[in-house]
A and B are shown apart, each in its own frame.
Chain A
Amino acid sequence: MKKGLLPLLMIVLFYSDSVFMTFFSENAFNGAYVPVPRFFLIGLLFMSVFFDRNTAVKYGLLFGFLFDMFYTGLLGAYMFFLPLIVYVTSKLTKWLQSTLFIFFIIVLFDIALLEMMIYGLNVLVQRTEASFEQFVMIRLWPTLALNALCYILFAIPLRNAFQKFKIIFG
């Protein structure tokens, strides 16, 4: 029974991104900044480090696929990038000590990496005309700030939750 809580947590995180968009006024700062919620990615990275990497890769693949189909309509992008980022993170945390502070830096690096890959892809398929400077000023910094805040608020509960799951799953 308790094993079912893991997929449930990931589903909640998956929808939390769009629910955040419901509450967050898009006109804040006069629409000058576009902070993108990446709560699901943060949860996924916690899963890969404090639970199990291969499970995290599978979840990234599945939910990335859902994200592509439901939200963006550009198939394959998140489905490919999310597992890739989980893999890179697991390699990074092997070399670096996984204290919550170092992990904070890694998570921010991952989010920046994902944003840049998605931006690069959009430039490639000509879905955007924004220059790289515009992208950094309008999207990257606000996104990092928003997700850093989220990390500070939810890091300890998330870590505890995944450590408990590790005990439950044995």
Chain B
Amino acid sequence: MKDRIDFKQVGALLRKQFEERASAYRKGNFDVFGFLLRWFLIAVFLAVFIVFFGRFTVTYLSVKTGGVTVERTRLYELLAMTYTVILLFLVIGGISQINRRLFDADDIKLLMGMPVGAKTVFVAKLVSIYLGQLVISVACVLAVNVTVAIHTTQPWYFYLVTALFCFILPLISLAISALVAMPYHALKQFLKDKFVLYFILITLATGLLFYLYSIVLGAVRDMLLGDSLKFFFNEQVMNFLQTLTKFLYPAVWLADLLLGQNLLVAGLGLAGVLAVCLTVALLVIRRLMVWVMQARIAGDVHFIHKKSEIKAAKRPFLALMRKDFLHVFRTPAYTFSYFSVAVMMPLMVYFCMTIGSSIVVKLIGMNCDLEIAIFLTLLFGALTNVFCSTNISREGEMFYSVKAFPVDYKQVFFSKVLLCMLVTALSQLISAVLLAAMGYIIWWQAAFLFVGGLLCSFAQICFATRYDFNHAKFSTEEDGEIKESGNTASTIIVLGMLLAFLTGGSVLLLRLLTALRPVVGLGYLTYLIVGILSMMAAALAYYYFIRKLGERYYTFSGGGQL
């Protein structure tokens, strides 16, 4: 029988996926606090983006080339570059979604044994990925175009095309993602059992991304410092951007359509790209998907380790820690979000320190390096420690087995806390040493920074571990990987950032105030505030962590697996 797309089955499959997602919002599973925090974070992110992008738009549109300001040309360049970034963002998301829902999803294995055609499954999956991309696309396109519309006057078709783009952009990104998804999957499979190589590569890639990010931050600094951003966009830079813009396909067509120019070329070009990408992607994925699925059903990669003998006895505590380490290190997503980010955190602190220090010196002419260092260390420390928000959930059903081991609950929990502490301590230590080595702070200040940062990290790790334990959601994936960034992560980010802003922000503010009106004997205020706040945070979080933990451990029957 010929494999045809059965749209009734497509509908049924989409309903299934919708119901699976909706189950997270049912009573008992729904974490209101985490959900609200998550949306709050997204809203804050969008608000910050709109403010900064608005300022950047105003600055960029006023840049002169050849002594003349051509707003329309600048807007064209700006839109082309912005849409390239949005497309890149969507493509990266699309690749991840395709891999997750087509190649790694467990339901595919079941569906392959059912009388559902491969094309039907494929279309249903693509539709669900498209819907996911649509949400992101709407957020991005609206944020950019509304900001542009606020700062420039735009005709009616700008809004019409904006609405159209919300739906077209995910199609383009999906088509491009589909082409790249297969090589990405092959690379992932290749690296799957080469844990060290994967770690090195992903760390280097993260470092590169952070470096690029620091360049963006440099631009932000120049923007904040007023005219210096205009100085940044000198003749040479503008020539480069103009040349670059010519090659930014298909974003230039999108910019053309938005500004109502070269409509025929842009429209045909866009349609052509869409048609070619989708056709090739459909053919390639559909053919290779069967092969990927069969490989999955046949089993995981058979990585033959060297013949080994059983190791000598270790303490159960160390065995539990090693177990957690192996779990994290051998799961690609965790390696990235835990170890690579932790290794790269010092660089991020350093990049931001160079920018922050110069801004403060230029704006108020005083040295607040220690306070900035504290703020940045706590802030990036908080972001790095997000990995501990899955300390319990990532264990999956094995958490019940661990419960049945003859080990004290304290050993179970503290082994996790200590592993996180070791990672974060290393990260904090390198940060402090780097800042001291680069002359921003002196050595004993570095030691103080390290201890203060460590106490705050301890607070965050303790809180995150207990919060995750209280709201555990075990993964249904075979490898136990938590693939959705849950509400717990949002909560940990918000609280970590609050602590960072409260501690770092208050010392920075006080430093500025005392600089304006010096008070005798308040030289140690920074140390006192950081010391007290970090210790209080550590003590409170520890109390939250340990309170009735043994009792809850005994009565634990969560995780959604029972």
Do chains A and B stick together as partners? no
